A and B are shown apart, each in its own frame.
Chain A
Amino acid sequence: MSIFTVLLGTSLCAAFGSGIAALAADRQPAILDWIVFPLLALSGIAAISVCLMMFSDFPGYAVVLPLGLPWLQWHLHIDILAGFFLGIIGIITFAVSLFGPGYLREYFHSDYSLAVLGLATGLFITGMQLVVMADDAFVFMVAWELMSVSSYFLVAYEHKESANRRAAFLYLLMAQIGALFILLGFGVLAAFAGDFSFESIRITTLTPFWAAISFSLGLVGFGMKAGIVPLHVWLPEAHPAAPSHISALMSGVMLKVAIYGFIRLVFDLLGEPHWGWGIVLLVAGSVTALYGVLYALMQHDLKRLLAYHSVENIGIIYIGLGLSIIFFSTGLYTFGVLGLIAALYHTLNHALFKSLLFLGAGAMLARGHERNLEHMGGLIHRMPWTALFFLIGCISISALPPFNGFVSEWLTFQTALQATKLESGVLRAVIPITAAMLALTGALAAACFVKVYGIAFLGQARSRHVRHAREASRGMVLAQGLLAVLCLLFGVLPTVTVAALNRIADDLTGYGVVAATQKGWLWLTPIAPEVASYSAPLILLGVFIAIVVWACLYFYARRRRRIQPEPRKPAWDCGFGPLNSRMQYSATAFAMPIRHVFRSLMRLHEDKVREMDPRLPTHPSALRYQFHADDISWHYLYLPVEALLHAAARRVSRIQTGHLRHYLAYSFFTLLLLLWLIT
């Protein structure tokens, strides 16, 4: 028990301490390399150790800290769900701490303060860990606010650009609105329980109406932070504005903390779910997934594209949660657990591959000084290791075997297939349709990442900086490599992971699923062997055998006749002469067929400007093409809301007439009203 306390304390205090230590970073930048990031790494390792201890049958830990208000002290509690999320936070923190030193070299000679960056990062990670450990609503909200406000400073870090300032303001605004909704949700629960601690909330039962109210408040509040459509508009603005390792933390971890909050609210605190909630989650998740991936395809800024993909993956997680709630509310507990496991697995996977991709984007930004896909190209020759790990990230996020993204999608599909066991005919028809939408999303994501990888890494370089880019520093490469190896590992060992996640589900809901008994650990058979089975290690073995066979054939043939090195010739150019880098396919062109098919779902603005040569009226001197995809949520939701608010504010501002007599009259009537109320 004491080792556990030590580890827990280390993870919190190391993160906080790195923030404090960073205050001296402005004067001594070397502190970052020697103290700040090693402390973060220590915090990450401690968090991972806590997670591993929880999964090896540790009974959990609860403590009441003498902080906070005298009658409302801080309750902290680590159960296996909290341990899982702490593990996720720990892994990504560790990877970021390896990545950070190399990346921040860029900022040593800039106008921005390193102390602020270090302090905010430390507080951000501390806040996230505290949210996961919270056992009463008060600590939860304090830690949530700590997380939001410190990440505001991180998003606004490069504040000299107005776009970043706008993005940070939007982010802070939506974070506060979301926090308000969460507070109200907890308020409803606390009103019934009479106390803010989760212990007492767990044992009270709410009336169905108030449970639905609390669910809706939690959905909107946590959804705003997680990024459900249409509450996602801050994501594509804020994630690109932050420095890349912070984007990795925000996209990989902070969104997961919102998922944690939602799971804690719905599965732990609210008790009996209603099937209507599941439908809402299912529909919201499907719309979010499709929306996210379509808009991602239209972007050519790499980080914005990755941010929209985060929206898509959160949608997939919500689909899993929705299916789980539908099955739980209709009494099919095994399939409900399967849905929950699929959602948790996807949470873990997304944290891993999204952070990997953002770190890769950071490396490309640091070395190639480009964020726009249209200016990149050929980076595989200049940055081979980054290219390899980024490729693994792309394959994982496109849900292709044998990496981890495929396993969680497979589990989600298997859960959706069990819809035939439901009673309601409408649900039995609607759930396969949402699964087909999920398949469309997955295939569009694969198309998007072919675009990203092909345009950024393959082909010829499209700009000067990219042509001369160097490989990233050792720490940056090591961080990406670590995450890539974990992606492969979680793809090849699904039975171990499902067994571990099963314990979380068992702890939360009291029901479990059998991961792989009948045929052994090699085969993932979550329902029954004859229903569905998937054996990733055997597939990998098949790959190795094939490679060995081919290598033997190759070397045998090589010995029989002399094989010269393959000559390099120019690519086929129709006889028109050498191809330059401008003649390649661009990112916008790659996405054009998909854009054409789905054009009615988006607001697309295409501008073709033809500048004519003044001397020759028929000869264009320049052709400019500009393309922009507007987010339709802005147009249909936010701008009308803003117009409404303005109109209402204008009406109310009529009180301010400017005449002294009117103001005196206001005081007079208020006094009369109060006197009357007393009587």
Chain B
Amino acid sequence: MVDNLNAVAVWWFALSQTVLFVLIAPLFTSWVRRIKCYLQNRQPPVLLQPYRDLRRLFAKKVIFAHNASVVFRSAPYIVCGTTVMAAAVIPFLVVEIPIAAMADAIVLVGMFALGRFFLALAGLDVGTSFGGMGSSREMTIAALAEPAMLMVVFTLAMLASSTNLSTIVTYILNQELVIRPSLLFALLALVLVGIAETGRFPVDNPATHLELTMIHEAMILEYTGRQLALMELAAQLKFTIYAVLIVNLFFPWGISQSFAPGALLLAAFALAAKLAVLGAFLAISETAMAKMRLFMVPTFLAVAFTLALLGMLSFIMLESL
């Protein structure tokens, strides 16, 4: 029962929540990098370094290759736009936001796919082999990660009888402490898929520019200035989206179910704490592992798929009575 003014306020809140999401994405990346530096006995940069990088890039001049076409020029906007829209539909601080009804989990996967499509096209546009290689590898890894991702979505949807993210979070929030094998396996599978999709160790190395080891960096090699800034922001935002998904879907305690300021503050603190812990775990695992060769990635994703499949099977066999 919301009257018009209230509805407008709710939509403004949803919009500002999205803006906040986009703003903290570089901060999360910087946090993970910081922990890695500590583990590797290096001096980390300032915590707000990614913001300075973005500001620097925005001020720089944009240069195009000779045969860059309109696809190359519009890809950063499309990639960043679809990622921001994906960020808008995820329960972040509040569970029930009106935008969340716009897109369910499958649409989320579709929006990432749309961004990736244009990113891969941009890689092929300039006519060099770097871009082609990056696009080819990225599409292969994405194709192999899709079944695992969808199996995770199915397991969650079978549990909560809905593919709507808000409904799933509400369901898990409302049950008391339950240890479900299906959720455990789905969590592991989602972590593995997230690593593959966001291009972290051991699938891709986000810190290097060597053609033997790069996938995402190869596709955005020719970008400069504000377009490179948008691509970088999109990558960081995608990483943060996966982290928030993992944290809010599987450990949703603390998320607020109303718009009261007290609950929102609590939700913000809880989310920050959970993201910090997840980031620390990620940094530790990245430091402990070496990067895999490209043709071991299908095995990695097959493990993710098997885990997700076992999650679904254990739901059907063990949990539905």
Identify the A interface with B (CB < 8 A).
377-378, 380-381, 391, 395, 398-401, 406, 410, 413-414, 417, 420, 425, 428-429, 432-433, 435-437, 439-440, 442-444, 446-447, 449-451, 453-455, 457-460, 519, 523, 529-535, 538-539, 542-543, 546-547, 550, 564, 566-573, 579, 581, 583-585, 589-594, 596-597
Are B136 and A585 neighbours in the complex by a CB distance under 8 Å? yes
Q: Is the CB of A568 within 8 A of B64?
A: yes
**B123 contacts across to A, CB distance below 8 A:** 454
**A381 neighbours in B (Cβ, 8 Å):** 67, 69
Which A residues touch B65, using CB under 8 A?
Answer: 568-571
**A572 and B117 contact, CB distance less than 8 A:** no
| Complex CA–CA separation, A596 to B294 (angstroms) | 11
Q: Is B222 close to A, CB under 8 A?
A: yes
B275-315 with Cβ < 8 A to chain A: 294-295, 298, 305, 309, 312-313
Q: How far is the CB of B166 from chain A (nearest CB, A)?
A: 9
Please give, as numbers and ranges, the residues of chain B lying within 8 Å of A455 by CB-CB distance.
Answer: 124
Q: B125: CB under 8 A from chain A?
A: yes
Measured CB to CB, the nearest residue on chain A to B130 is A572
Contact with A546, one of B84, B106, B116, B146 (Cβ below 8 angstroms): B84
Known contacts A381-B69, A534-B103, A590-B135; 15 additional CB pairs below 8 A are A378-B127, A443-B146, A449-B117, A457-B69, A458-B125, A523-B101, A529-B101, A531-B161, A534-B104, A546-B84, A568-B65, A571-B128, A573-B128, A593-B294, A593-B295
Please, how many angstroms separate the alpha-carbon atoms of A679 and B68 in the complex?
90
Other-chain contact of A584, B128, B144, B161 (Cβ < 8 Å): B128
Q: Does A585 contact B132, Cβ atoms closer than 8 Å?
A: yes
Nearest residue in B to A432 (C-beta to C-beta)? B154
A18 to B135, CA, bound (A): 47
Q: Please, which residues of chain B bring their CB within 8 A of the CB of A571?
A: 65-66, 126-128, 222
Q: Which residues on the B side are within 8 Å of A433 (C-beta)?
A: 309
Least CB distance from A603 to B in Å reads 20
Return chain A residues, CB-CB under 8 Å to B64.
Answer: 566-569
- Selected from A454, A550, A568, the residue in CB contact (under 8 A) with B125 is A454
Contact of B137 among A401, A410, A428, A593 (CB under 8 A): A593
Residue B121 interfacial (CB < 8 Å)? yes
**A410 with B151: CB separation less than 8 A:** no
Which of B107-115, B237-245, B252-260 lines the interface with chain A?
B107-115
- CB of B139 within 8 A of CB of A583, answer no
**Nearest-CB residue, chain A, relative to B123:** A454
CB contacts under 8 Å to A, within B141-164, are 142-151, 154, 157-158, 161-164
Measured between C-beta atoms, what is the minimum distance from A526 to chain B in Å? 12
CA distance A594 to B138 in the complex (A): 11
The answer on a CB contact under 8 Å between B62 and A410 is no
| Chain B residues whose CB sits within 8 angstroms of the CB of A570 once the complex forms | 65-66
CB contacts (< 8 Å) of B130 on chain A: these are 572
Q: Quote the shortest CB–CB distance from B55 to chain A (angstroms).
A: 13
Q: Nearest chain A CB to B91's CB is how many angstroms away?
A: 14
A262 and B315 alpha carbons, distance in the complex (Å): 36
A529–B161 alpha-carbon span in the complex (Å): 12
A332 smallest CB distance to B (angstroms): 14
A410-B106, A450-B135 known; A420+B161 contact, CB < 8 A: yes
Cβ of B67 and Cβ of A585 under 8 Å apart?
Answer: no
Return A394 CB to nearest CB of chain B, in Å: 8
Alpha-carbon gap, A567 to B135, bound state (A): 25
Contact B121 A413 (CB under 8 A): no
Assess whether B128 is in contact with A583, with CB atoms less than 8 Å apart: yes
Interface pair B117/A450, CB less than 8 Å apart: yes
Interface pair B69/A535, CB less than 8 Å apart = no
Known: A458-B69, A530-B167, A593-B294. A436 touches B150 (CB 8 A): yes
| Interface residue B2 (Cβ < 8 Å from any Cβ of A) | no
Report if B63 contacts A (CB, 8 A): yes
B102 sits at the interface (CB 8 A)? yes
Q: Which 4 A-B pairs have the closest CB atoms?
A: A585-B132, A454-B124, A447-B139, A459-B127
- Asked if B13 lies at the interface with its beta carbon under 8 angstroms from chain A, I say no
Contact between A585 and B113 (Cβ–Cβ < 8 Å)?
Answer: no
Q: Select which of B103, B124, B148 is within 8 A of A458 by beta carbon.
A: B124
Least CB distance from A406 to B in Å reads 6
Are A400 and B295 interface neighbours, CB within 8 A? no
Interface centre among B63, B127, B167 (most CB of A within 10 A): B127
Contacts of B121 in A (CB 8 A): 450, 453-454, 458
Q: Give min CB distance, B126 to chain A, whole Å.
A: 5
Q: Does B178 contact A (CB under 8 A)?
A: no
B140 located at the interface, meaning its Cβ lies under 8 Å from any Cβ of chain A in the complex: yes
Contacts of A400 in B (CB 8 A): 110, 113-114, 117
The 28 sampled A-B contact pairs (Cβ below 8 Å) are A380-B69, A398-B117, A400-B110, A406-B110, A410-B110, A417-B163, A429-B312, A432-B158, A437-B147, A440-B143, A440-B147, A450-B117, A450-B120, A454-B135, A458-B125, A530-B162, A531-B167, A533-B164, A568-B63, A579-B127, A584-B132, A585-B129, A585-B132, A585-B133, A590-B124, A590-B132, A592-B136, A597-B140
- Residues of chain B contacted by A585 (CB below 8 angstroms): 124, 129, 131-133, 135-136
Q: How far is the CB of A544 from chain B (nearest CB, A)?
A: 11
CA A450 – CA B125 in complex, angstroms? 11
> B316 at the A/B interface (Cβ < 8 Å)?
yes
Please tell me if the beta carbons of B126 and A459 are within 8 angstroms of each other in the complex: yes
B177 within 8 A of A: no
Once the chains bind, are B316 and A542 in contact (CB under 8 Å)? no
Contact present for A593 and B140 (CB under 8 Å)? yes
B167 contacts across to A, CB distance below 8 A: 530-531
| A572 and B161 contact, CB distance less than 8 A | no
Chain A neighbourhood of B164, CB < 8 A: 530-533
Contact (Cβ within 8 A) A458 B140: no
Residues of A within 8 A of B298 (CB): 597
Residue of chain A at shortest CB distance from B71 = A458
Q: How distant is the Cα of A566 from the Cα of B68 in the complex, in angstroms? A: 12
**Chain A contacts for B145, CB-based, 8 A:** 443
Q: Are B128 and A439 in contact (CB under 8 A)?
A: no
CA distance A43 to B252 in the complex (A): 59
By beta carbon, the residue of chain B nearest A541 is: B102
Point out the residue from A432, A533, A547, A579 that lies within 8 Å of B128, measured CB to CB. Answer: A579
Nearest CB in chain B: distance from A647 CB, A: 42
A398 contacts B113, CB within 8 Å?
yes
A395 to B113, CA, bound (A): 10
Contacting residue for B120 out of A454, A457, A523, CB 8 A: A454
In the complex, what residue of chain B is closest to A571 when comparing beta carbons?
B65
Q: Are A447 and B312 in contact (CB under 8 A)?
A: no
B221 interfacial by beta-carbon distance below 8 Å: yes
Q: Nearest Cβ in chain A — how far from B67, in angstroms? A: 6
CA–CA, A432 and B68, complex, Å: 42
Whether B162 pairs with A531 at a CB distance below 8 angstroms is: yes
Chain A residues with CB under 8 Å of B221's CB are 572
Complex Cα–Cα for A542 and B129 (A): 35
B117→A417 contact, CB < 8 A:
no
Q: Which residues of B contact A583 (CB under 8 A)?
A: 128-129
Any chain A CB within 8 A of the CB of B51? no
Is B250 in the interface zone, CB < 8 Å from A?
no
Q: Are B154 and A442 in contact (CB under 8 A)?
A: no
Task: Name which residue of chain B comes closest to A462, CB basis.
Answer: B127
Cβ–Cβ < 8 Å partners of A590 in chain B: 124, 132, 135-136
- CB-defined contacts of B312 to chain A, threshold 8 Å: 429, 432
Given A433-B309, A454-B125, A546-B81, check contact A401 B114 (CB 8 Å): yes
